[in-house]
A and B are shown apart, each in its own frame.
Chain A
């Protein structure tokens, strides 16, 4: 089994390598904002490069100096590229590459475009990846409450000879060392990400949709089924139980009868699990080969995607879900409404509630 290097605070005593450097964040969504604020709290000189839109206004309100992207690139020694993968290539070509200074560092939060050679930066650039495994808002919140979050970090190209030091200083600055940063490379980060989406996710959902149909057929109201399976949050608590106690011990937090039911019935899936492994193997292979990236770049694929998505939301489960949410009078939520950033007060309150709940965690075993 391959070992992995894990970096923590003690591995990076100081960030002096960033002294006098200007760090530009290209993109100011939740991920960009949280990382920029964390870095500024560490005393680093941070600016923001963004087109004129509401994100740029937000950056201004947060007290950052903001510029159009080319101008920010010209000023920066370190560039965090925190815009969606899909527009990265175009923005890189038109607004970044022509203005890039020799010896600067380019930081990605996802490996995709580098791993599959959609962006090939010049040789004299430090190419870094810092990929928090945490949603944008969480990156700020977990920094403020001291909990930290996991990240994947790595050097893709060492243009200045100091890429590793810069990488670690930046990781510390965005709050990525408190819990631990796992060393990776662009390709590995991308493959793990894509495989989780394509190999693990669909295999799980292929097991999870049918039980709802079966219960519906059995005469249980759809509303009750959706509460049991999704809306109650039971699945989330199972996920979190596995995270907190582990897969092996997580099961012990249940009653004996549940444990017996689960363990004895799961054996019946033996053949299915073997088949899942067989289906997963070529999926992994195809991702590693770059086959998937090539497929995704095709125009026809984008069309296919639209078709699949259209049908998924209008047949079977999608339709049932819409109906149930309506009868439960659940409000239609605006998908892109901004999630309010937690205030410091809210974060403190959350910590207090957590303290109060510690007692429950002490007695999980039945």
Chain B
């Protein structure tokens, strides 16, 4: 199987001149795209159902329209709202106003693959995803830098999708670094799998390492500075991107390289069990079991419960104290989770809650 890779020379902004482009949503990614489009000399219109985002768009000197208005005025629609809101918005505002041969751009394969929406067969469906936060998309653009993208085509009745996909990727600041073509199904599978097996598994290892060291008499502040707050992890990843994961090892001292590589072997005994867990996670995503599970009523209750115990864990207390002592300012006040006691009773979730409490509350 050969993989299709696109480069800057493959994109042509001129072809966008004959299209009206609209963006639904004004979250971080949508905002970054909208501003980058504007700076690339391409006019876009915005629509959002979110009151606060409307104000945000106005501050950025856009005139937000209603979603039906936007649909009527646009040929290409970037559909950039949270996955969970897509079905509702599509049904209520888009479907009734749909024109013939519209072109939709998604940032995730989710709505199409898990059948949240059914696009008519005369519509085109394009996928453009950068996998990084909106702020980073904008920052790269302002720095004359770029980002990698994953792109794909699901429906292409008029054979315009590929050229448009590339022109649009270029306009939002991508394609100066390569874009790789994948299918909608591959994209969403990989996205869900990566989030469930990657970053927060590492966060849990961090939590345990901190606890281990605190127990052995090391100050929590020093441990957290060493392991996360210094920002060294981010620097290592920058270098991994620049020269490669293997080669970036050379930036560490020999003592460090030997320590990392030789001790890696000691954790090898876990790999069979880890693999088993990871394979099951993938299977559940592919079978649709995970998404079905998420749609069950009890999952929202369990999520609240997990967040509640996570926020009330021993580690949460340590972390709060550490950040305060180190003078970190609060960038944002997050809504604290409350324990949904009644729903737990109503849905007979007591047994599961015991497990959650033990896992998240215990740490």
Contacts and interface: CB of A to CB of B under 8 A. Distances in A.
Interface of A: 1-4, 6, 8, 84-86, 112, 133-135, 138, 149-150, 152, 179-180, 182, 184, 188, 191-208, 210-211, 214-215, 218-225, 227-252, 254-273, 275-277, 279-281, 283-284, 288, 292, 296, 301, 304-305, 308-309, 312-313, 317-318, 321-322, 325, 327-329, 333, 335, 353, 356-357, 359-366
Contact of B133 (A85, A251, A270, A360): A360
B213 interface: yes
A338 B223 CA distance: 31
Interface stretch (B40-48, B62-70, B317-325): B317-325
Given A223-B3, A283-B263, A231 B241 contact: yes
B282 interface: yes
Contacts of B349: none
Given A6-B221, A266-B201, A86 B84 contact: no
A266 B200 CA distance: 8
A360 B319 CA distance: 24
B138 interface: yes
Given A1-B220, A228-B131, A321-B246, A329 B178 contact: yes
B228 A243 contact: yes
A231 B195 CA distance: 15
Contact of A271 (B203, B273, B328): B273
B281 interface: yes
A207 B274 contact: yes
A279 B267 contact: yes
A206 B242 contact: no
B347 interface: no
A233 B253 contact: no
B204 interface: yes
Contacts of A261: 192, 195-196, 290, 294
Nearest to A223: B180
Contacts of B209: 195-196, 199-200, 203, 280
Contact of A260 (B194, B198, B303): B303
Interface of B: 1, 3, 5, 7, 27-28, 31-32, 52, 56, 59, 82-84, 130-136, 138-139, 142-143, 147-150, 178, 180, 182, 186, 189-209, 211-214, 216-223, 225-235, 237-238, 240-247, 249-264, 266-271, 273-275, 277-282, 286, 290, 294, 299-300, 302-303, 306-307, 310-311, 313, 315-316, 318-320, 323, 325-328, 331-332, 334-335, 355-356, 359-360
29 contacts: A2-B217, A86-B255, A112-B255, A150-B225, A188-B222, A211-B278, A215-B190, A220-B186, A222-B3, A223-B3, A224-B190, A232-B131, A236-B238, A240-B231, A248-B313, A248-B315, A257-B294, A261-B196, A262-B195, A277-B208, A283-B263, A284-B212, A288-B216, A296-B259, A304-B258, A305-B261, A305-B262, A322-B244, A353-B142
B200 A365 contact: no
A228 B190 contact: yes
Given A220-B190, A258-B195, A318-B246, A243 B237 contact: no
Given A4-B219, A280-B209, A327-B3, A296 B237 contact: no
Given A202-B266, A360-B31, A150 B326 contact: yes
B197 A207 contact: yes
B241 A233 contact: yes
A262 B196 contact: yes
Contacts of B241: 230-231, 233, 236
Given A296-B258, A353-B143, 19 more contacts: A2-B218, A200-B205, A200-B209, A202-B261, A203-B205, A204-B206, A211-B197, A214-B278, A252-B334, A257-B83, A260-B302, A260-B303, A266-B204, A268-B280, A272-B273, A276-B205, A308-B261, A309-B257, A335-B247
A214 B198 contact: no
B244 to A, nearest CB: 5
Nearest to A257: B294
Contacts of B332: 245, 249, 361-362, 364-365
A305 B147 CA distance: 35
Contacts of B328: 246
A359 B273 CA distance: 43
A193 B41 CA distance: 49
B234 A279 contact: no
A232 B132 contact: yes
B317 to A, nearest CB: 10
**Most A CB within 10 A of own CB, among B219, B230, B259, B303:** B259
B148 A227 contact: yes
B186 A219 contact: yes
A345 B214 CA distance: 43
Given A223-B3, A224-B182, A279-B267, A229 B227 contact: no
A268 to B, nearest CB: 5
A208 to B, nearest CB: 6
**Most B CB within 10 A of own CB, among A202, A259, A335, A365:** A202
Given A208-B198, A255-B84, A231 B246 contact: no
A68 to B, nearest CB: 25
Nearest to B203: A247
Given A211-B194, A230-B245, A235-B237, A357 B138 contact: yes
A288 B217 CA distance: 12
B261 A309 contact: yes
Contacts of B229: 133, 150, 243
Nearest to B136: A237
A273 B208 contact: yes
B148 A232 contact: yes
Contacts of A279: 266-267, 269-270
Nearest to A182: B222
Contact of B205 (A84, A138, A204, A211): A204
Given A210-B274, A333-B243, A256 B259 contact: no
A233 B149 CA distance: 11
**Most A CB within 10 A of own CB, among B59, B131, B147:** B131
Given A260-B303, A281-B212, A321 B237 contact: no
A277 B331 contact: no
B300 to A, nearest CB: 8
Contact of B260 (A197, A240, A296): A197
B206 to A, nearest CB: 7
A356 B205 contact: no
